[in-house]
A = this chain, B = another copy of it.
Amino acid sequence: MDKELKKITPSFKEISLKQSSFKSLYGLTPEVEQAIIHAINNKKKSGLKKLVEPLHPADQADMLERLSNENLNTFLDLLGKSLDPEVLVYLDQDIQENVIDHIGPIALARAIHDLDTDDAVDILQDLEEKDREVVIKQLPSSDRILVEEALSFPEQSAGRLMQREFLAFPSNWTVGQTIDHMRTKPLHEEETFYSIYIVDPAHRLLGVISLSKLLSTKRPVRLKDLMEKEPRSVTIETDQEEVALLFQQYGLVNMPVIDQLNRLLGVIVVDDIVDVINEEAQEDLLGLAGVSDFSIRASFIETAKGRFSWLILNMFTAILASSVIGLFQEEIEKLVALAVLMPIVASMGGNAGTQTVTVAVRALATRQLDYSNLQKFVLRETWVGMMNGVLFAFLSALIAYLWFGDKQIALVMALAMIANLFFAGILGTLIPLTLEKNNIDPAISSSVFLTTATDVIGFFTFLGLAAWIIL
């Protein structure tokens, strides 16, 4: 491998932004990556295998995502059949599809059989219905029932997130009996548990015991005397965002999922919740900026398409704002300073409003904002808008006066600034709250409504006041 590395070094140095300014955190170092690409180009199957196998499945997935389509296909030709099933779990959807097409339904069914139900369902739910049926038919019947049931739960629900593999014991068992039983059933390599659950004969959830508590307790103690009663649980329909909030609030590592009759169905584990938290935060971030897709790997056509709908929406709102300017063409002709100053009013309103919208969106997503502090929040943001409005009114009036030497223009500037920042504060809270109330995601649509409003109000008050006071 060292020899191979030396060969790569020169071409690697050519990259303009220094490698050292970006850190490689994971197992997939630049050196390993280059060596893998080299092995693919030379179709060295055994060399490739030696490079790939020591990598964690998550790193292997990263690597596949970084390959060009051509290299990916060569890689799959060489190693597709011996790929670790866990790798599938970590792949982006588009690459996952590519890999699945390549290895075929029988190999996929075999791979899925080795996975936890939550991971199996995660892969199957993204397949086209036809392909999914083919794969499900290949599964052993015990797997098939669990997978089909999981797929019947709503998307993004606790039912989809949970794994069906968990440990449940009767309440009258002792610690010793439980441990002895666990020793008779060796774990799969990937399986890890953090708690055991106590159930009654009808499989209803009675309590939970953490493994550390189980291990620190003497053998004769009965589980019912050790367990934490009525543990926090969610039902299969609970939305994944709510599940994530509960994990965060109470610092949980796992949580039982029950049905309407309190029967234990499965367990959600924190690593899946970390993914959910990330997804939800990313959705809000991208939503506010109008990006519907986020694949670093998507082609430029796909990317351009994904951006287009937001831009066209913004174009119409920009035209709306411009048509407000259109109403005052005569005034601008008479006093061209108005055209120079008007974007300042609109831009300040947009920025102040975006600050408020962002705080509101985040506070709603983290449930910090609710019925009880709503009025206080709207009031605070209105006052903030008012106060900054007055400050920036003075400042912008001063600048307008120094620039154009006209007291009336300065006055109009000040008044328009107060009005626009005031409305920015009110609308910055009311728009996301109204959307939330109507079950529309405030992260996705608030900012376009807001900037339309602040542009229209900004231009209208500034030009309107100018027409009234000056001209």
Q: Which residues of A contact B (CB under 8 A)?
A: 15-19, 21-26, 30, 33, 56, 58-59, 66, 179, 182-183, 185-187, 191-194, 210-218, 242, 245-253, 270-271, 273-275, 277-278, 281-282, 284-286, 288-291, 294, 296, 299-301, 303-304, 307-308, 310-312, 314-315, 318-319, 321-323, 325-326, 329, 332-333, 336-337, 339-344, 346-348, 351-352, 354-355, 357-359, 361-363, 366-375, 377, 380-381, 383-384, 387-388, 391-392, 395-396, 399, 403, 433, 436-437, 455
Residues of B within 8 A of A371 (CB): 15, 17-19, 21-22, 30
- Which chain B residue has the least Cβ–Cβ distance from A185? B216
Contact A355 to B274, CB < 8 A, known contacts A187-B213, A343-B325? no
**CB-based contact B359/A343 at 8 Å:** no
- Which chain B residue has the least Cβ–Cβ distance from A317? B347
Residues of B within 8 A of A352 (CB): 307, 311
**CB-based contact A210/B192 at 8 Å:** yes
What's the least CB distance linking A133 to chain B, in Å?
30
Residues of B within 8 A of A18 (CB): 371, 437
Listed by A's residue number, 5 A-B pairs whose Cβ atoms lie within 8 Å are A25-B249, A192-B210, A253-B253, A289-B357, A296-B363
**CB-based contact A59/B249 at 8 Å:** yes
Residues of B within 8 A of A342 (CB): 339
Residues of B within 8 A of A396 (CB): 315
- Which chain B residue has the least Cβ–Cβ distance from A252? B271
**CB-based contact B271/A274 at 8 Å:** no
Within 8 Å by CB of A373, from B296, B308, B358, B361, lies B296
Residues of B within 8 A of A214 (CB): 215
Closest 3 CB pairs of A and B: A281-B281, A251-B271, A289-B358
- A23, A58, A284, A336: which has the most chain B beta carbons within 10 Å? A336
Contact A315 to B285, CB < 8 A, known contacts A245-B25, A384-B303? no
Residues of B within 8 A of A16 (CB): 375
Within 8 Å by CB of A315, from B59, B242, B346, B348, lies B348
**CB-based contact A296/B358 at 8 Å:** no
Residues of B within 8 A of A299 (CB): 380
Residues of B within 8 A of A251 (CB): 58, 271, 274
**CB-based contact A359/B291 at 8 Å:** yes
- Chain A facing B: main interface SS: helix
**CB-based contact B300/A380 at 8 Å:** yes
Residues of B within 8 A of A194 (CB): 194, 211-212, 253
What's the least CB distance linking A291 to chain B, in Å?
5
Measured in the bound complex, the distance between the Cα atoms of B238 and A23 in whole Å is 12
Within 8 Å by CB of A339, from B211, B300, B339, lies B339
**CB-based contact B183/A212 at 8 Å:** no
Measured in the bound complex, the distance between the Cα atoms of B183 and A216 in whole Å is 4
What's the least CB distance linking A460 to chain B, in Å?
13
- Which chain B residue has the least Cβ–Cβ distance from A251? B271
**CB-based contact B58/A250 at 8 Å:** yes
Residues of B within 8 A of A192 (CB): 210, 212-213, 253
What's the least CB distance linking A54 to chain B, in Å?
12
Residues of B within 8 A of A271 (CB): 251-253, 270
**CB-based contact B284/A375 at 8 Å:** no
**CB-based contact A392/B311 at 8 Å:** yes
**CB-based contact B343/A321 at 8 Å:** yes
What's the least CB distance linking A464 to chain B, in Å?
15
- Which chain B residue has the least Cβ–Cβ distance from A293? B359
- Which chain B residue has the least Cβ–Cβ distance from A187? B216
Within 8 Å by CB of A291, from B311, B358, B392, lies B358
Residues of B within 8 A of A15 (CB): 371, 374-375
Residues of B within 8 A of A315 (CB): 344, 348, 392, 395-396
Residues of B within 8 A of A22 (CB): 370-371, 374, 436
**CB-based contact A336/B332 at 8 Å:** yes
What's the least CB distance linking A40 to chain B, in Å?
15
Contact A340 to B325, CB < 8 A, known contacts A281-B281, A285-B284? yes
Measured in the bound complex, the distance between the Cα atoms of B59 and A388 in whole Å is 34
Apart from A192-B212, A248-B275, A332-B339, 10 more pairs, CB < 8 Å: A17-B371, A19-B371, A23-B367, A26-B367, A66-B373, A253-B270, A277-B277, A277-B281, A284-B285, A304-B383
Residues of B within 8 A of A275 (CB): 248
Measured in the bound complex, the distance between the Cα atoms of B246 and A58 in whole Å is 11
What's the least CB distance linking A445 to chain B, in Å?
14
